């Protein structure tokens, strides 16, 4: 059984649209004098994605203060919404690959709230297995994240094609023997999957 294991963000989904990014900055009541919001957002993200901290802890770190319950709920809702824009070209290309010899799975760095939003997205129903860093308690590119997925799928690394848009994540997967490829665009899926039948050298 072969698996196509896809990263979620900016592979199956589109990048956060500018309007959504602006909405999140507004929800954070961000003062531009405090620096770049997105640098702070990402600097604190690994622990949140790994499940080491709660949403309240994460946003307190980003904001430099504790948000009110209402603001925290709003921040979570806006943050999740920004990650739920499907890349229809990728999904259409992958849909053509479905068959008895190919199964689909997702491996994504995501905190609990984003993971729940992704799981609820009906357009991801063909992906029968979904793995999230917050539940694996490991984030890409940590080897433990990939090993946990290989074990859960009951597959050999050579039977998994892994596609991700970040070179560091691709390199880490390849080091464990997965057929790892850097995402360049939806048109590459046919070529990647056909390569499963080719010997590795």
pLDDT over 70 for what percent of the chain? 94
Tokens for 132, please give them: 């999230």
Say whether both 90 and 69 belong to one domain. Answer: no
| pLDDT of 173 higher than 90 | yes
Shared domain for 32 and 90, answered yes or no, is no
Domain count, the chain: 2
At 3-58, the pLDDT tens digits run: 999 999 999 999 999 999 999 999 999 998 889 999 999 999 999 999 999 999 99
Give the single-character DSSP code of 13.
B
Q: In this predicted model, what pLDDT tens digit does every residue of 44-100 receive, in sequence order?
A: 999 999 999 999 999 999 999 999 999 999 999 999 999 999 999 999 999 887 666
The CATH number assigned to the domain holding 186 equals: 3.40.50.1000
Q: Cβ(8)–Cβ(91) under 8 Å?
A: no
Residues 9 and 30 in one domain: no
Residues 108 and 10 in one domain: yes
Does residue 141 have a cis bond before it (omega within 30 degrees)? yes
Considering the domain architecture, whether residues 107 and 77 belong to the same structural domain is answered as no
Examine the fold and report which residue of 49, 82, 115 is the final residue of a domain before the chain moves on.
82
23, 99: one domain: no
Average pLDDT, the chain: 93
Of 142, 143, 140, 80, the C-alpha closest to 106 is: 140
Contact 7, 163 (CB under 8 A): yes
192 shares a domain with 109: yes
- Of 30, 61, 82, which closes a domain? 82
What is the distance between the alpha carbons of residues 196 and 141, in angstroms, rounded to a whole number? 23
For 153, the domain range is: 2-14+86-197
In the listed set 82, 105, 132, which residue is the last one of a domain according to the structure?
82
Same domain, 6 and 37: no
Task: For residue 3, give every residue at least 6 positions away whose Cβ sits within 8 Å of its Cβ, in sequence order, or none.
Answer: 102, 103, 104, 105, 153, 155, 159, 160, 161
Provide the CB-side half-sphere exposure for 124 (13 A, CA). 26
Task: Record the tokens describing residue 102, joined without a space.
Answer: 């190919």
Q: How far apart are CA 36 and CA 135, in angstroms?
A: 29
Tell whether 170 and 103 lie within a shared domain: yes
| pLDDT digits 0-9 by tens, 89-129 | 999 999 887 666 789 999 999 999 999 999 999 999 999 99
């Amino acid at each position: 059984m072969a698996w196509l294991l896809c990263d979620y963000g900016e592979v199956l989904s589109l990048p956060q649209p500018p309007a959504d990014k602006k909405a999140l900055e507004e929800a954070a009541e961000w003062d531009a004098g405090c620096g770049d919001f997105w640098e702070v957002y990402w600097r604190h993200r690994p622990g949140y994605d790994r499940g080491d901290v709660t949403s309240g802890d994460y946003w307190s770190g980003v904001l430099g203060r504790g948000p009110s319950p209402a603001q925290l709920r709003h921040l979570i809702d806006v943050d999740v919404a920004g990650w739920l824009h499907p890349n229809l070209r990728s999904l259409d290309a992958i849909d053509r690959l479905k068959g008895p010899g190919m199964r689909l799975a997702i491996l994504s760095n995501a905190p609990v709230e984003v993971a729940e939003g992704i799981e609820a997205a009906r357009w991801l129903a063909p992906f029968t297995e979904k793995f999230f860093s917050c539940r694996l308690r490991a984030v890409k590119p940590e080897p433990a994240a990939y090993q946990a997925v290989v074990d859960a799928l009951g597959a050999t690394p050579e039977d998994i094609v892994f596609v991700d848009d970040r070179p560091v994540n691709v390199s880490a997967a390849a080091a464990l023997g997965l057929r790892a490829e850097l995402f360049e665009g939806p048109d590459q899926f046919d070529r990647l999957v056909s390569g499963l039948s080719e010997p590795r050298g």
